[in-house]
Structure 1
Amino acid sequence: MTYCVGLKLDRGLVFMSDTRTNAGVDNISTFKKMYTWAKTGDRVITLLSAGNLATTQAVISILNERTKTPSERSPSIYDMPSMFQTARLVGDTIRHVIEEVDSGGQRADSFGASIILGGQIKGGDPRLFLIYPEGNFIESTPDTPFFQIGEHKYGKPIIVRSYDPAMTFEEATKLLLVSFDSTLKSNLSVGLPLDLQFYQSDSLKLGFEKRIERHDPYYEIISEGWSQALKLAFQSLPPFEIEPRS
């Protein structure tokens, strides 16, 4: 399992993903789930993946191969004229990979994967998409300004309650760290390190990137601070009374 979030702000996009796969008592592996294609001044495209590791790695490998030898039948992600067309390309690729598995007699549903795709191409606005295993996709809107894939139920409430499109990248990072910390504490299949990336609208260049390791000082402050804040908030709530006061 995994947990990834793509968040759209007034000032740009924020991406965060964990790196854990195959969680178990004696089988914990780390794989990067955030990938970026960038040409300064032209485009920045970031992809977050969740689901079957073989499927997602095949999709990434195909997209990378096409950047080296593009053709009319196999266009490169660098040749797409818009983020919408890029989402179509990625959707077609994931569907093709899963169909190949299905044609080989294996259960395609066990090879499913979901993708968050975001970025900006020169001449267009920053856009954020959620791409399903079937290859179809939806785009973020003011009503749905963020997407989550993987083990998202534990970390969603804090984002829903605290998200503000006007927040800074720093505030968004704090919000996502709380969301991820809640998920890490609830599910062993999500784990550190975490990958973080910002994209500033209209910059058309890679923004801030960071890998947050297990003993990152700021993460430890957020994790401990959030735990204490929840305890204090709980204690401040009025007590339940079995008998109403007369």
Structure 2
Amino acid sequence: MTYCVGMKLDSGLVFMSDTRTNSGVDNISTFRKMHVFSKPGERFITILTAGNLATTQAVISLLAERAKAPEDRNPSILAAPSMFQVAQIVGDLLRETIRSREMTGLDAETTFNATLIVGGQIKGMEPRLFMIYPEGNFIEASEDTPFFQIGETKYGRPILVRGFQPDMSFESAVKLLMVSFDSTMAANLSVALPLDMLILPRDRFEPMQQRRINEDDAYFNRISDSWSAALRNAFYSLPDYVID
């Protein structure tokens, strides 16, 4: 399965994704679900993928092929004049990729589904964040919806809803995401380390930090242990139920 989050802060964008695609006793696979496209000093775009691996890899491969010579291979997200048009290009390509597989006679609704998060900034414009559906349509992050989740979303969502603040620091945002991912992994074995994380400050056009969080990551393990202890302490501090 998958769990990916894109978050829009006042100060920029933060992304995190797991890397597990299959989980079972004898079938565990790891693939990167975070992909970046950039022009130094001019734009930086991050795409998170969830769903059928063949579909998402086809979309990313086609985007990468077009990016090799964006002036000749239109439409390229490295030549699009706005992030809105970047989202349109990615949405159209996702819909076409799913439709091409549907022509084989298989059920695209269940077999080839994929959902993407696209975020980034183009020079002279605001950072923007979109969630793109299999049909190719999309929605944009706003004050009411400041973050997007794709994949196995239900276990980590309560943490984000309760903890998110648009003016929070990048450090606090990363901590919040780690708690959300830890809660998801504790409840669902189909989401697992390693995680990929990227911080994109406003008007910087390159990551402040981009790294992989592995099983031996000291900070993540400290967050996981501390969160478990805090939950237990909070539970036992609640008023006791009295049976008459």
Q: TM-score, normalised by structure 2?
A: 0.97
For the residue of structure 2 that corresponds to 1:230, the secondary structure is helix
- In the alignment, what sits opposite 1:198? 199
For the residue of structure 2 that corresponds to 1:223, the secondary structure is helix
Q: What letter is aligned with 1:178?
A: V
Alpha-carbon shift at residue 203 of structure 1 (Å)? 1.2
Q: Deviations over 1:58-98 (max 9, x none)?
A: 00000011112446773111100000000000000000000
Q: Superposition pairs for residues 84-99 of structure 1, below 5 Å?
A: 84-99=84-99
Q: What letter is aligned with 1:162?
A: G
Question: Is the 8 Å Cα contact of residues 40 and 206 (structure 1) preserved in structure 2?
Answer: no
Alpha-carbon shift at residue 231 of structure 1 (Å)? 0.2
How many aligned positions are there? 243
Question: Is the 8 Å Cα contact of residues 70 and 78 (structure 2) preserved in structure 1?
Answer: no
2: distance between equivalents of 1:212 and 1:62?
28
- In the alignment, what sits opposite 2:59? 59
- In the alignment, what sits opposite 2:161? 160
Q: Superposition pairs for residues 65-104 of structure 1, below 5 Å?
A: 65-70=65-70, 74-104=74-104
Q: What letter is aligned with 1:15?
A: F
Q: Once superposed, what is the RMSD of the aligned Cα atoms?
A: 1.1
Is the counterpart of residue 10 in structure 1 residue 41 in structure 2?
A: no
- In the alignment, what sits opposite 2:185? 184
1: distance between equivalents of 2:45 and 2:4?
16
Q: Superposition pairs for residues 114-193 of structure 1, below 5 Å?
A: 114-193=115-194
Moved more, 140-149 or 65-74: 65-74
Q: Deviations over 1:32-83 (max 9, x none)?
A: 0000011121100000000000000000000011112446773111100000
Q: What letter is aligned with 1:142?
A: E
Question: Is the 8 Å Cα contact of residues 5 and 16 (structure 1) preserved in structure 2?
Answer: yes
Q: Deviations over 1:132-188 (max 9, x none)?
A: 000000000001000000001000001100111111111111000000000001101
- In the alignment, what sits opposite 1:45? 45
For the residue of structure 1 that corresponds to 2:76, the secondary structure is coil
Identity of aligned residues (%): 60
- In the alignment, what sits opposite 2:214? 213
For the residue of structure 2 that corresponds to 1:189, the secondary structure is coil
1: distance between equivalents of 2:233 and 2:223?
15
Q: What letter is aligned with 1:61?
A: S
2: distance between equivalents of 1:67 and 1:96?
18
Question: Is the 8 Å Cα contact of residues 67 and 78 (structure 1) preserved in structure 2?
Answer: yes
Q: What letter is aligned with 1:227?
A: S
Q: What letter is aligned with 2:64?
A: N
Q: What letter is aligned with 1:195?
A: D
Question: Is the 8 Å Cα contact of residues 63 and 76 (structure 2) preserved in structure 1?
Answer: yes
Alpha-carbon shift at residue 123 of structure 1 (Å)? 1.9
For the residue of structure 2 that corresponds to 1:101, the secondary structure is helix
Alpha-carbon shift at residue 103 of structure 1 (Å)? 1.0
Question: Is the 8 Å Cα contact of residues 38 and 206 (structure 1) preserved in structure 2?
Answer: no
For the residue of structure 1 that corresponds to 2:121, the secondary structure is strand
Is the counterpart of residue 238 in structure 1 residue 224 in structure 2?
A: no
- Note the residue ranges of structure 2 that are not aligned, 5 or more in a row: none
Question: Is the 8 Å Cα contact of residues 71 and 79 (structure 2) preserved in structure 1?
Answer: no
For the residue of structure 2 that corresponds to 1:138, the secondary structure is strand
